[in-house]
Amino acid sequence: MKPVPLQLITIRLDNGQQGVFVGAPLVSCETTDPDAQVEDIWFSDVQELPPLTSLDEVLRLVQEQLCRCQAVTH
């Protein structure tokens, strides 16, 4: 099985709630480019996944979301 790079993003709200999001790597410890700072964050609609959803299926959803976000910004 081929390894798949993933990154977890943790967001904490002012009210103390936290959420962890899984996605394609975006920022690393080596990222020092000033143009690589977070500019916007979008949240998709909540999607119900079947209990046995594969990682490949989750990554497909992530890629679809990225395509939608890139279409909005261009």
Average pLDDT, the chain: 79
pTM: 0.54
* pLDDT higher at 13 or 36: 13
The three state secondary structure string of 5-46 is CCEEEEEECCCCCEEEEEECCCCCCCCCCHHHCCCCCCCCCC
Given this model, what pLDDT does residue 25 score?
81
pLDDT band at 18 (very low <50, low <70, confident <90, very high): very high
**Residue 39 in tokens:** 């500019």
Q: For 36-51, what is the mean pLDDT? A: 80
* pLDDT higher at 20 or 34: 20
The residues spanned by each domain of the chain are 1-24+45-74
